[in-house]
Structure 1
Amino acid sequence: MISVGQSLPAGEFTIFTTEGKQTLDTQALFAGKKVVLFAVPGAFTPTCSNAHLPGYVVKAGEFSAKDVDAIYCLSVNDAFVMKAWGEAQNAQAITMLADGDASWTRALGLEKETGSFGGVRAQRFALIAEDGLVTALNVEAPGKFEVSDADSLLALLG
């Protein structure tokens, strides 16, 4: 599993922008930026939709005030699902990253097998990275939502 002090692995993500569907790599997403990235097991699932993503949507301005350049939401879903979920949650301030084949999630070592729920998914976690280097990492215990929420990450930013 990735840890504090390590560089994020290379990878590509599919996102939707005003220009349509695009593929962005980790260099474009993380180089020269201070970012918060949080991962959810699945878009449109209860905790993810009722608490995890909404917390970051509501607190986006507070992250910006702490010099965070971008907030990324990662899920092992396809780009169309992530786009629809972001729209349904009014998450315009959040970049919705689709890791459709879980390759980047696996490269982080933060995948979990959910069986018939959906196969390989991301564990619930959040991290802070500066210029691609992990400066903080909070990984939830199975079935918990206590350390990857927006308030926990804001507290880490001081």
Structure 2
Amino acid sequence: MTIKAGDRLPDTTLVKASENGPDKVSAQEYFKGKKVALFCVPGAFTPTCSAKHLPGYVEKAGALKERGIDEIACTAVNDAFVMDAWAKSSGAEGTVTMLADGNGDLARALGLEMDGSAFGLGKRAQRYSMLVNDGVVEQIHVEAPGEFKVSSAEYMLDQL
């Protein structure tokens, strides 16, 4: 079953890079008490993700925060080291929190897993964005395969 507006996020474990190495993060704890613009990409360093998706959220971070967003987070089925390197190389460090879903646990629990094996990607997460308020999904926008419209930072701003 795919998660929908009004549902609480499942309590999976994500991983965030820190000075001391990978830190496990409980989704329940991470989203508790704040409004988060969460977006998911099929893979760090992939073309649309690197050229449009992540840069859009970096560019629109100030506007999102002016509209009540406490934090902006990105997740992907990549490890914390890759997510950290992507944040550093893209200028997202300190603006977008990178939450690695290395085993795809969150993607599966949300019902948003996809099979990218035809492209050598294996099991990944679909491209989406959601507005999460205190752990509850207020909005969810899942892209059609190959699309990049409803998960963009611009679209998120229009929905706030």
Tell me the TM-score normalized by structure 1: 0.96
Question: 2:67 & 2:35 partners in 1: Cα distance?
Answer: 10
Partner amino acid for 1:106?
R
Q: CA deviation at 1:85?
A: 0.4
> Counterpart in 1 of 2:138?
135
Question: 1:16 & 1:90 partners in 2: Cα distance?
Answer: 16
Q: CA deviation at 1:29?
A: 1.1
Q: Secondary structure at the match of 1:142?
A: coil
Question: 2:15 & 2:108 partners in 1: Cα distance?
Answer: 16
For structure 1, the residue ranges without an aligned partner over 5 or more in a row are none
Tell me the TM-score normalized by structure 2: 0.95
1:21-53 Cα distance to aligned partner (Å, 9 max, x none): 211111221011100100000000000000000
Question: 1:80 & 1:62 partners in 2: Cα distance?
Answer: 28
For structure 2, the residue ranges without an aligned partner over 5 or more in a row are none
Q: CA deviation at 1:19?
A: 4.7
Question: 1:27 & 1:104 partners in 2: Cα distance?
Answer: 12
> Counterpart in 1 of 2:57?
56
Question: 2:59 & 2:21 partners in 1: Cα distance?
Answer: 25
Question: 1:17 & 1:149 partners in 2: Cα distance?
Answer: 27
Out of 96, 103, 106, which is 1:104 matched to?
106
Count of aligned pairs = 157
Q: Is the CA contact (8 Å cut-off) linking 2:42 and 2:124 kept in structure 1?
A: yes
1:91-144 Cα distance to aligned partner (Å, 9 max, x none): 021001110000111000001001152111010000001111110000000000
Q: Secondary structure at the match of 1:13?
A: strand
Q: CA deviation at 1:18?
A: 4.1
Question: 1:12 & 1:19 partners in 2: Cα distance?
Answer: 18
> Counterpart in 1 of 2:13?
12
> Counterpart in 2 of 1:38?
39
Q: CA deviation at 1:83?
A: 0.4
Question: 2:121 & 2:112 partners in 1: Cα distance?
Answer: 16
> Counterpart in 1 of 2:81?
80
**What percentage of residue pairs aligned between the two structures are identical?**
48
